[in-house]
Structure formats: structure tokens, C-alpha cells
Structure 1
């Protein structure tokens, strides 16, 4: 039985990032950047007005109440007509280029316009309400790093840089196989001896949520022949995930098939709770993770091991869930001989973060994952953490 860290390190070391592909910018949301982005231009490209108002020289306005003639007007999308005379102003709209000679913009609310002139009711300061060329981004700046997950702001930034196509990592195909005679898919009758195959939908959703491509292959019954057939169907996948069949029962056959022929198993137990039964190996040349069958164990093990593997395929910078410390609102207990991943609800309590259990913590209680937003980790060597203690948490849903 190996540690969580060693298991994760072993899995990730067997994953090779996928090649990159150029995709249209409008399809890049949620993808991982496969190149550094260096700006080829200043943004903004010219000095422009941050307000609707009047471009002026501050030396023309030594005190409030100065009246200036309006030389001309620059609507947004237009260019200045040229220099303007001293003792005058240029009416300007937000985003329009600042005319030569102007060193401030007075916003419209601080003026009164009448009969071709404007009265300025304040004393402006130099550079007021001017956005200078390169103020946001300068030509030659490194804007985004390889491995960045592209979100809405990044897409807007790339559009500002006129990037029509973006080089992104390819998305891995992840084969998902449920196992067991006792589980039934949504299109099967749920008889008295069957339970719903919730793991099938959960894993498909988790894979899709990460930006990978799920390939659900259905349920392999508890026979070696049935499981071999599913593994053959997974031949075009980059990663294989199974749920169930890796424990010590007579009908838990995943580990057996993973050791047949040229297949191999690197480990099959991890020192953690829940999620102790977990196999990793190579099947038909494809990395395969045998997740435990209990729903909470499946999700916990996915987050610790399958998630980092999928993210490495896509060239992500960070592979693990974000960690932080929070104040316990109640005492929690662990087995002591291994880390215990309890489901918790992280929230703000005044100036600090606090956390409370979602309730019953059985590995079959999937509602504890649905209610929670983090794992509370009782470390190995500790049986109890008391109310008021700080506990390390891994956030899987930032909902506070």
C-alpha cells in the first residue's frame, strides 16, 4: 500500500502531454494554451479618452470657471483633425484618440457647454482621464503562459491582440467502464437485485467538466471475458477509467485482467480513506486507473489521481486541487493510520474561513459530495481534530 503522493507521482509520470492544435479563438474557451503569448502591439495602441468630455491643455485652466471655445469634436471611431489652438478644447468621446497637444480630459459632468464653448468647473490635473498607449499591454510583453486555462478574460485579451487562431493542447479521450453484475444503466430496468450505475454519469461529467472527451463504454459484467471486450473497445482512448472490481471480492476481476499478457499493474492499494482499493497499470498500451466502486470513493480517487492525469495530457500548469486552511466548527475524526478525506462545507466566518462536515461520511453517501464544496483532510497520525483547530482543505467547488 503506497502513499497518495507516491501513487499520484507514479500515474503522472506515465502520462505524456498530447500534441497541440490550432483552433479558432471562438472555440478556445476552456482549453489549455500550448504556446506563450507575446504581444506584437501596444494596448491601447494610442492615447485615448477614458471619458466623454473635453480634451484640454491644463495650462489653459489655472482656476475653475474658465471658458474655452470648442475647436472641433472627435466621436469614438474617428481621428483627431489635428492640433487645436491654445485657449480652446476638443469635444471627445470615450475611446477616441486624444488630439495632439492635449494633456488631460475633463469629464462632461464637470463642465457646462453652451454656444460653441465649454465652461470648465474644475482645475484638471495632467493626465486626467487619459488611457496611454501601452498602459494595459506593451509590445513585447509576455501576456499568457503556456499551460494557461483559457477563461473569458483570456479570450477577450487574445481578441484584443488580434489572435484569430490559438495553439491549444489537444483534448484527451477518456474511456469510462463501469463494472459489476449489480449495477444498471439508465436504459435498463432497475430490478430488486440492481442498483443505479451512478458512477457512469458521475465520471462522464467529471471528465467533461475538465475539458476532456468522455467515451462511455457501458457496464462490464463480472467476467474476465466481458472486461477484456470493454478494454478492446477502449483502444482509441488516451486513458481508461474503470469503477469497481478492484477490491478483494471473488468477483472483483479488474486487477486480474490488468495483469494478463503484456498488461501490467504498478500498484493496487493507496493509503487513504475513502479510496484504498485503487489500481493503476497499462492495458493494451493505454494508462488505466481502476477506481473503487463506492460513489464517494470513486469521486475522491478521481480527484486525487485521474484528474491530475487528464490535466497533464492537456498541458495544464497545476494538476492538483487548490488547498487552504480553515477553522473547524466541530470536531472531526480519522482512522489515524492514513489520511481521511471528509466532505465539508467551506464558508466565511467573519474575517476567516471555517468549515463544517456535510453530515454522515459513508463512502456510499453520494449526497455528501453534492452538499459539499471541499475535502477536509484529517492527516495520517491524527485520530481527532478539535473544534477551533485549523484543518487543511482541498476545494473542489468554490461556492462560498
Structure 2
């Protein structure tokens, strides 16, 4: 069986980064920036007031009790036209350009006004309450680097830098195909041993949250002709993900159907639990990931492999961040497979710890849905006692972002 790290490397090797497309600023949330974004202007473009007050020459304020003549005002979005002379002042508002001849702002709380005469409580230093030109950024500054996942702050910065259209990676189109005679659509009433198909619902949400476009190819029965027809429907997609039918049973026909269509199989079976019967290959230009049918296997395989594939396709460095936590319970020695155990954060020993679910059956989706973390155990990991440190993947974190 193939080690997890080698399987990841072999999945990523043939994948190519999506081409660039330009989208309007309001449509760019969550997209991946394809090129560095440079400021198209200085911000602010000129020196402006940081407060409501009076624009003055700082040197003139050193003489206590001096009367200044009010010669005009500078509103935000406007300006005072003219040169301010000695012992003259201009009423100025936050964001207004500093009038020519002035170099400071005396805040209005320190001013006494009588008609066109103004007295100040004390002196101000040059540059007081002034935002100089380019304080925030200057023309040509690289404000956002290629590979940035555009969140609300990044979009606001792009707008401030003067951009309406942004170069982003095209979103990969990911085909999702569930297989199995036993599957029924959500909302249908299963009969006998039939079950509701949940895998494509889970995967579609993951794919959307990770910056790609899910294309639901439906549910396919365990019939070779039907499978081949659905595989042909996937032509033109960037990646196909199947669930179910990848094992060794008489009705596990996905591999055979793929090979009948010309699949170049890269590997099948990995040293991982859950997720052992994972398949990867190519149908011409279409890369295919075949996940096991059990819902926890599908979810864990998506986190470990599909997420990294999307990162590569979107021009991001592939990777899954691992943290650490202390165990609340003992664990027996691990076997030859890399293990991903569902775990829950609990309070124990005066600190937050992680307790693994008592039963880790890959059909038990409820524990996966409720779990806080995956506890990651390498092959042949020795026994663990309460309080020992283990590697974890935070599920809420990994499901929320590509980073």
C-alpha cells in the first residue's frame, strides 16, 4: 500500500495551475489573486487633516495669546484656494487637503472663535494632526501578492489602491459522481437497506468553500454501461471525484469502467485509515480521484487529498496545517496505516485536551460532523497515554479556508 505522503505527491504532480481571468471587485470574494497588485496612487494623494480644527503655520502658534484671522474653510472633498499668510488660519475638516502655506492643524477643542478672529490655547508642532501624502501607501506599492485569498480586508485594500478589476485564478470545475445501487437522493424515502446519498452534498460544500465549482453528476447505479455514460459526461471538467465502487467487491465497478474508457491508473490503495481503497489516474486530460463510499472516508480523503489538489490548481502551496494537543484518553499502538481519528476537545488535567471517539467506524458520519479535530497517527505509532502529545488537524479551520 502506498504511504499517504507519496499518494499526495503523485496526485499533485500532474495537476496544473488554472489560467488567469479578470473579475469585477464585488465578485472577487474568496478568489485567489493570480498576479501581484500594485497601488495606482498615493494614499492619501496629498497632505490632509487628521482632525476637525484649524490649519495654521506651526511657527505662528508659538506666541501665546496671538489672534489669528480666519480667512476661509477647507471641507472634506474640497479645498481652500489660496495661500495662507502669517497669523492667518483656515477652518479645516477631517480629510480635507492642507492649505498652501500651512503645516499643522490645531484641533477645534483648543480654539476660541469670535467672528473672524481665532485664539488657540497653546502651540502646535509642525505636522501636528496632519496625514502626509502617501502615509498609507504610495504609487507602485505591492499591496497584495499573487496567491492571496481575497477576504473582505483584501478587497477593501484593492479598492483603495484604485482597482475595479482583479486578476484571479479561474475556479476549477470539479465533477462529483456518487455510485451505488443502495443510494437515494436527499429528500427521498429509502426502502429496506437503502441509504440517503450524503457524499456529494459534503463534497460540493467543501469544493465551494475551497474556491472551486462543484458539478454534480448525480447518482449512478452499479452498472458498467451507466458508469461509462456518466464518465463521458465529465469531459471538459478539471477533475472528477467519484465516491463508492473503488473497493474489491463484485459491485465495485468504478475502476473497471474507468479502465474501459482508457484510464491510466496511477495507484489504487493507500496505507491510510479511513480511506484505504483510494484510486487516482487520468482519462486523457481529465484527472480522476476515486474515493471510498463510506462517508467518513470520503470526508477525510477530501481533507487530505482533494483540498491539496485544489490548492495546487489555484496556485497556492499545497499543505495541511497540523497542530498539537494532549490526549485525554489512551490509544493502543498503531498498525501500518496512517490513522485519522475523530476527536473532541474536552477539559481535563486543568487544560484543554482531545478525546478520540470510542468507535471510529467509517460509516458513522454523525461523529465526523460533530468532531472538533482529526488526530493524526503515523504508521506504527507507539501506544499513547493520557497527557501524551499528538498531532491534530483542526476541522473547523481546515473546512473554512484554503490556507
TM-score (norm 2): 0.88
**Secondary structure of 2:306 counterpart:** helix
In the alignment, what sits opposite 1:369? 368
**CA 1:288/1:367 → structure 2, altered by over 3 Å: closer, same or farther?**
same
* Alignment of 1:182 onto 2:182: yes
Instruction: Return the alpha-carbon distance in structure 1 between the equivalents of residues 287 and 162 of structure 2.
Output: 39
Q: Map of 1:286-365 to 2, 5 A cutoff?
A: 286-315=286-315, 317-332=316-331, 335-345=334-344, 354-357=352-355, 359-360=357-358, 361-365=360-364
For the aligned residue pairs, the C-alpha RMSD in angstroms reads 2.8
Aligned length: 396
In the alignment, what sits opposite 2:15? 15
**Structure 1 position 289, deviation (Å):** 0.3
**Secondary structure of 2:105 counterpart:** strand
In the alignment, what sits opposite 1:251? 251
**CA 1:311/1:327 → structure 2, altered by over 3 Å: closer, same or farther?**
same
Instruction: Return the alpha-carbon distance in structure 2 between the equivalents of residues 119 and 344 of structure 1.
Output: 69
Instruction: Return the alpha-carbon distance in structure 2 between the equivalents of residues 347 and 68 of structure 1.
Output: 68
Q: List alignment gaps of at least 5 residues for structure 2.
A: none
Q: Deviations over 1:336-388 (max 9, x none)?
A: 43332223456999xx9944236444322223333234322223332433433
**Structure 1 position 118, deviation (Å):** 4.4
**Structure 1 position 80, deviation (Å):** 2.7
In the alignment, what sits opposite 2:275? 275
**CA 1:271/1:117 → structure 2, altered by over 3 Å: closer, same or farther?**
farther
**Structure 1 position 61, deviation (Å):** 3.3
Instruction: Return the alpha-carbon distance in structure 2 between the equivalents of residues 41 and 240 of structure 1.
Output: 44
Instruction: Return the alpha-carbon distance in structure 2 between the equivalents of residues 21 and 152 of structure 1.
Output: 20
In the alignment, what sits opposite 2:26? 26
**Secondary structure of 1:188 counterpart:** coil
**Structure 1 position 119, deviation (Å):** 4.5
**Secondary structure of 1:297 counterpart:** helix
Instruction: Return the alpha-carbon distance in structure 2 between the equivalents of residues 344 and 56 of structure 1.
Output: 65
* Alignment of 1:204 onto 2:200: no
**Structure 1 position 142, deviation (Å):** 1.8
In terms of mean alpha carbon deviation, does 151-160 or 340-349 score higher? 340-349
**Structure 1 position 103, deviation (Å):** 3.0
Instruction: Return the alpha-carbon distance in structure 2 between the equivalents of residues 33 and 84 of structure 1.
Output: 46
**Structure 1 position 242, deviation (Å):** 0.7
**Structure 1 position 132, deviation (Å):** 1.9
In the alignment, what sits opposite 1:379? 378
**CA 1:233/1:188 → structure 2, altered by over 3 Å: closer, same or farther?**
farther
In the alignment, what sits opposite 1:148? 148
**CA 1:346/1:225 → structure 2, altered by over 3 Å: closer, same or farther?**
same
**Structure 1 position 397, deviation (Å):** 1.8
Instruction: Return the alpha-carbon distance in structure 1 between the equivalents of residues 214 and 116 of structure 2.
Output: 66
Instruction: Return the alpha-carbon distance in structure 2 between the equivalents of residues 164 and 286 of structure 1.
Output: 34
**CA 1:252/1:113 → structure 2, altered by over 3 Å: closer, same or farther?**
farther
TM-score (norm 1): 0.89
Q: Map of 1:66-77 to 2, 5 A cutoff?
A: 68-77=68-77
**Structure 1 position 333, deviation (Å):** 5.2
Q: Map of 1:93-242 to 2, 5 A cutoff?
A: 93-121=93-121, 123-242=123-242
**Structure 1 position 395, deviation (Å):** 3.0
In the alignment, what sits opposite 2:390? 391
Instruction: Return the alpha-carbon distance in structure 2 between the equivalents of residues 56 and 368 of structure 1.
Output: 68
**CA 1:82/1:345 → structure 2, altered by over 3 Å: closer, same or farther?**
farther
**Structure 1 position 113, deviation (Å):** 4.3
Instruction: Return the alpha-carbon distance in structure 1 between the equivalents of residues 127 and 394 of structure 2.
Output: 44
The answer as to whether partners of 1:56 and 1:104 remain within 8 angstroms in 2 is yes
